[in-house]
Protein backbone atom coordinates (compact mmCIF):
# COMPACT_ATOMS: atom_id res chain seq x y z
CA UNK A 1 0.00 0.00 0.00
CA UNK A 2 1.11 3.54 -0.71
CA UNK A 3 1.41 4.91 2.84
CA UNK A 4 2.24 8.52 1.94
CA UNK A 5 -0.83 8.68 -0.29
CA UNK A 6 -2.94 7.07 2.43
CA UNK A 7 -1.81 9.62 5.01
CA UNK A 8 -2.80 12.53 2.78
CA UNK A 9 -6.16 11.01 1.86
CA UNK A 10 -6.84 10.02 5.47
CA UNK A 11 -6.11 13.55 6.69
CA UNK A 12 -8.59 14.99 4.21
CA UNK A 13 -11.21 12.29 4.78
CA UNK A 14 -11.03 12.52 8.57
CA UNK A 15 -11.39 16.30 8.53
CA UNK A 16 -14.43 16.14 6.28
CA UNK A 17 -16.05 13.22 8.11
CA UNK A 18 -15.53 14.76 11.56
CA UNK A 19 -16.96 18.05 10.31
CA UNK A 20 -20.04 16.36 8.89
CA UNK A 21 -20.66 14.40 12.09
CA UNK A 22 -20.14 17.45 14.30
CA UNK A 23 -22.53 19.57 12.25
CA UNK A 24 -25.05 16.74 12.33
CA UNK A 25 -24.74 16.47 16.10
CA UNK A 26 -25.10 20.22 16.62
CA UNK A 27 -28.09 20.55 14.29
CA UNK A 28 -29.97 17.68 15.95
CA UNK A 29 -29.50 19.18 19.42
CA UNK A 30 -26.62 17.07 20.75
CA UNK A 31 -24.54 20.09 21.69
CA UNK A 32 -22.81 18.95 24.87
CA UNK A 33 -19.16 17.94 25.16
CA UNK A 34 -19.65 14.14 25.39
CA UNK A 35 -21.82 14.18 22.27
CA UNK A 36 -19.22 16.16 20.33
CA UNK A 37 -16.47 13.80 21.50
CA UNK A 38 -18.52 10.84 20.29
CA UNK A 39 -19.00 12.55 16.92
CA UNK A 40 -15.25 13.08 16.63
CA UNK A 41 -14.51 9.46 17.56
CA UNK A 42 -17.09 8.20 15.06
CA UNK A 43 -15.61 10.46 12.38
CA UNK A 44 -12.10 9.14 12.98
CA UNK A 45 -13.27 5.53 12.85
CA UNK A 46 -15.43 6.00 9.76
CA UNK A 47 -12.70 7.76 7.81
CA UNK A 48 -10.28 4.81 8.01
CA UNK A 49 -12.22 2.63 5.51
CA UNK A 50 -12.84 5.66 3.31
CA UNK A 51 -9.13 6.45 3.28
CA UNK A 52 -8.25 2.86 2.41
CA UNK A 53 -10.86 2.75 -0.37
CA UNK A 54 -9.78 5.98 -2.03
CA UNK A 55 -6.07 5.13 -1.66
CA UNK A 56 -6.67 1.90 -3.56
CA UNK A 57 -8.67 3.75 -6.23
CA UNK A 58 -6.11 6.51 -6.75
CA UNK A 59 -3.27 3.97 -6.66
CA UNK A 60 -4.91 1.87 -9.36
CA UNK A 61 -5.50 4.94 -11.53
CA UNK A 62 -1.92 6.17 -11.28
CA UNK A 63 -0.39 2.70 -11.44
CA UNK A 64 1.55 3.32 -8.24
CA UNK A 65 -0.10 0.86 -5.88
CA UNK A 66 3.07 -0.19 -4.09
CA UNK A 67 4.20 3.21 -2.89
CA UNK A 68 7.81 4.38 -2.77
CA UNK A 69 10.51 1.96 -3.85
CA UNK A 70 13.98 2.67 -2.59
Domain of 53 in residue numbering reads as 3-57
The larger pLDDT score, comparing residue 60 to residue 38, is at 38
Instruction: Give 34-43 contacts, CB < 8 A, sequence gap 24+.
Output: 43/14, 43/17, 43/18, 43/19
- Domain membership flag for residue 62: no
The mean per-residue pLDDT over the stretch 6-25 comes to 96
Note the helical H segments in 1-70.
3-27, 33-62
Tell me if 28 is assigned to some domain: yes
Q: State percent of the chain over pLDDT 90.
A: 70
% of residues, the chain, pLDDT over 70: 90
Structural domain count, the chain = 1
Amino acid sequence: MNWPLFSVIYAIASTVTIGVFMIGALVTGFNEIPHIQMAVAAGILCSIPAGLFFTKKVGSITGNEEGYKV
